[in-house]
Structure 1
Amino acid sequence: MLSYDVCECSAPLQRMERPTPKPKGTEVLLEVLAAGVCHSDLHIWDGYYDIGAGKVLKLADRGIKLPLTMGHENVGRVVAVGPQAKGVKVGDVRLAHPWMGCGKCAVCKRGDENLCLKSGNLGVQRQGGYSTHLMIPHPRYLFKIGKLTPEVAAPLACSGITAFSALKKFDPKVLKDEPVVIIGAGGVGLMGVTLAKKMGAKTIVVDIDPVKRAAAKKAGASKVIDGSAADAVAQIQKATGGGAWSVIDFVGSSATVKLAVDSIIKGGSVVVVGLFGGDITVPTPYLPMRAMTLRGSYVGSLSEMKELLALVSKKGAPPVPIKTRKLADVNQTLNDLREGKIVGRVVLEPAAA
């Protein structure tokens, strides 16, 4: 099997060849057909997360070791199954849910494996899809994609489920009546725009890049706002009739979280998804006096993946711009992503390598 691995942080991914593994027990081996390139891969590649005040959270602190094959948005064809793997067969095409827990703790047993403290996520703690082959520990992580093509389905494993889970953090009645403000129109933000529309919600998108604002408008945003404008807060409050009830920050920088908090109405909620980095200060009286909610959202659960795929099956695939590239183009793709040159999603096709 062939893969491109992070062997040294910030250095180009290295082409690696190793024997193709054979599944044991409940394991399932996939030939990777599509592997989405996600912005969070840049943080793993760099080797740290910026947590503000000159401090960083290092890969080692999250149990991540090198060399590592990144890639957590994967669709593959089953090429081998372990003797205890039930419900899949050779030839099946499946989306791999990447957010895996230990499967034994109370968190996992209630269905929230994505929140497990002993996570084994694909492309993070476990080898991912920037490879010709991918081992999945259990069939419960594999989902049918119906009529979707692999390159369209793959981003649902992260950008799709992340946006969907964030939207579900809001009261459905509020979503029906009030627009959702989405900060950041990258791959996940655009997914949020399209999924919100399928869920019956209107969106207002805030981004500093005019190209991405145009993409958001094309994707269905009712209004777009320049986040770098001096009166961005006033524009958001005007567009929402006095302040936003629901804001999702898909950037997660100090400036964008502050913008979100400053833009909400009394009783409003801010959900932070992005991992750009930084820190914030919120006056503690704001929390009770403004009855505000400030929370995070981390990817999504197995049940939410099932819900998301059902929604997409019923109402169609999110019309997010998707371009495909060869696996060998992974380094150029990561650099393009860092430089803001990618609108929507780039999906690698390892099986075509």
Structure 2
Amino acid sequence: MKAWAVVENGKPLQEIELPTPEPKGDEVLLEVTHAGVCHSDIHIWEGEYDMGARGKLRMTDRGLKLPLAMGHEIVGRVVKWGPGAKGQGLKKGQLRLVFPWVGCGECARCRKGEENLCAVRPRALGVYQNGGYATHVLATHWKHLIPIEGLDPALAATYACSGVTVYSAIRKLMPMPKTQPIVVVGAGGLGLQAIAVLKALGHRRICAVDVDAAKLEAARAQGATETVLATPEGTAKRIIEACGGPVLGIVDLVNGSQSATAAFDALAKGGKMVQVGLFGGELRLPLPLVPIKAVTIQGSYVGSIPELKAVVKLAQSGKLPPIPISTEPMANANLALNRLREGKVTGRTILVAG
């Protein structure tokens, strides 16, 4: 198979030939039709995370091996499957969304359908094994394939990461009155998807925060009721002013030092901040304020298989508004990554098979 792979961190992707996998056991081989370009791909491409005062966390220390075909937002057509997948309704040519956050498949978390939280042997597609920036991808289990009838496959691809990620984070804030403001920090692909999910769930107050005025315009178009332009100083104050007071729920899709500090400072008593983004840095807090304000700081890592199925069902019901999508040929993966890194993408870029 052909892949557009990271061969050396920080260097342009290379078009290389890799052996086409032969499915065994419960595995299913798909021909990739669509692959989303996610901001976390940039971290994988660059090879490290900013851990603030603790320095850099190298992706190789987490088990990443090169060359690697990135891409975890994958839609493809079924080609063949292993003997364990027989009798599961698979047919050659079926279009399926692939759940990429694969775990060991055997631990308690995995058995509950929470493979995204597996600590035994994480095997996420596009991170620990080849993903969607290729002509073919190997799904490690037939249960990871989700039908997407009635949906635009380019849009459906985004649900495997941006969709399920924001859905899972928003669920951690609930229950919350629909008239209470929820703050979404970051108005990129994840932020617009978060606004869409909140609207689909019937939420009526959504405040978007970003450093880019153009992205805030996109957030308004997506359905945000308030917007705040983030700057090095005063962002928390402007969030509180826009929302009519300190807020009970914030989803930080950037999760850098400045965004997390502003989000914490804007929390009301009993409020919750859910941290999602991987921008990096560190959060320094006056510790007495955590119990005094009775706030919760919680991380949220992508989402589970049941959560992804719920997002797809929400989209198929017609309640989930689409986010802006642009497409590029798979061979233009480098161009798409660089445009994303430069902040020139509104919504999501999807690589499509040639």
Same fold (TM over 0.5): yes
Distance 1:28 1:319 in 2: 29
Whether the 8 Å CA contact 2:73–2:157 is kept in 1: the answer is yes
2:163 aligned partner = 160
The alignment-based identity, stated in percent, is: 47
Asked whether the equivalents of residues 37 and 334 of structure 1 are also in contact (C-alpha less than 8 Å), the reply is: yes
Q: CA deviation at 1:54?
A: 6.0
SS of the aligned residue for 1:129 comes to coil
Select 1:321's aligned residue among 319, 324, 327.
324
Distance in 2 (CA, whole Å) between partners of 1:189 and 1:219 is 10
Specify the SS of the correspondent of 2:51. Answer: strand
CA contact (8 A) 1:249 1:257 kept: yes
- Asked if 2 retains the 8 angstrom alpha-carbon contact of 1:77 and 1:91, the reply is yes
* Equivalent residue letter for 1:282: L
Given that 2:232 and 2:258 are in contact with CA atoms closer than 8 Å, whether structure 1 keeps it comes out as no
**Counterpart of 2:72?**
72
Alpha-carbon distance in structure 2 between the residues aligned to 1:348 and 1:342: 13
In 2, the alpha carbon distance for the partners of 1:234 and 1:24 equals 56
CA contact (8 A) 1:87 1:139 kept: no
Specify the code of the residue in structure 1 equivalent to 2:240: Q
1:177 CA displacement: 3.2
Conserved 8 A contact 2:183-2:250: yes
Return the match for 2:194 from 178, 183, 192: 192
1:152 partner amino acid: L
Deviations 1:174-209 (Å, cap 9, x if unpaired)?
Answer: 142311101100100110011111011121001110
Instruction: Please say if residues 323 and 345 of structure 1, whose CA atoms lie closer than 8 Å, have aligned partners that are also in contact.
Output: yes
Give the drift of 1:349.
0.7
- Offset of residue 290 of structure 1: 0.2
Provide structure 1 residue ranges, at least 5 long, that are not aligned to the other structure. none
After superposition, what is the alpha-carbon deviation per residue over 1:214-254, rounded to whole angstroms, capped at 9, x for unaligned?
A: 00000000011101174322221122222011001110100
- Stretches of structure 2 lacking an aligned partner (at least 5 in a row): none
Q: 1:101·1:116 contact (CA, 8 Å) conserved in 2? A: yes
Q: Is the 8 A contact 2:156 2:312 kept in 1?
A: no
Answer whether contact 1:148 1:317 (CA < 8 A) is retained.
no
Query: Within 5 Å, which residues of 2 pair with 1:189-338?
Result: 189-201=191-203, 202-228=205-231, 230-338=233-341
SS at match of 2:282: coil
AA matched with 1:227 = A
Cross-structure match for 1:345: 348
2:110 & 2:65 partners in 1: Cα distance?
A: 23
| Match runs of 1:103-114 below 5 Å | 103-114=105-116
* Cα distance change on mapping 1:175 and 1:120 into 2, 3 Å: farther
Cα distance in structure 2, aligned partners of 1:40 and 1:8: 17
Aligned pair 1:84/2:84, yes or no?
Answer: yes
Which SS does the other structure have where 1:84 is aligned? helix
Residue number in structure 2 paired with 1:95: 97
Does the 8 A contact of 2:226 with 2:243 survive in 1?
A: no
Q: Distance in 2 between matches of 1:333 and 1:315?
A: 29
2:130 counterpart residue number: 127
Misfit runs of 4+, over 4 Å: none
Aligned counterpart, 2:117: 115
Q: State whether residues 81 and 90 of structure 1, in contact with CA within 8 Å, keep that contact through their aligned partners in structure 2.
A: no
Amino acid at match of 1:138: H
**TM-score, scaled to structure 1:** 0.97
Q: Residue type matched to 1:27 in 2?
A: E
TM-score normalised to the size of structure 2? 0.96
Q: Secondary structure at the match of 1:242?
A: coil
Supply the distance in 2 between the matched residues of 1:206 and 1:299 (Cα, whole angstroms): 21
Q: How many residues align?
A: 350
Q: Is the 8 A contact 2:199 2:320 kept in 1?
A: no
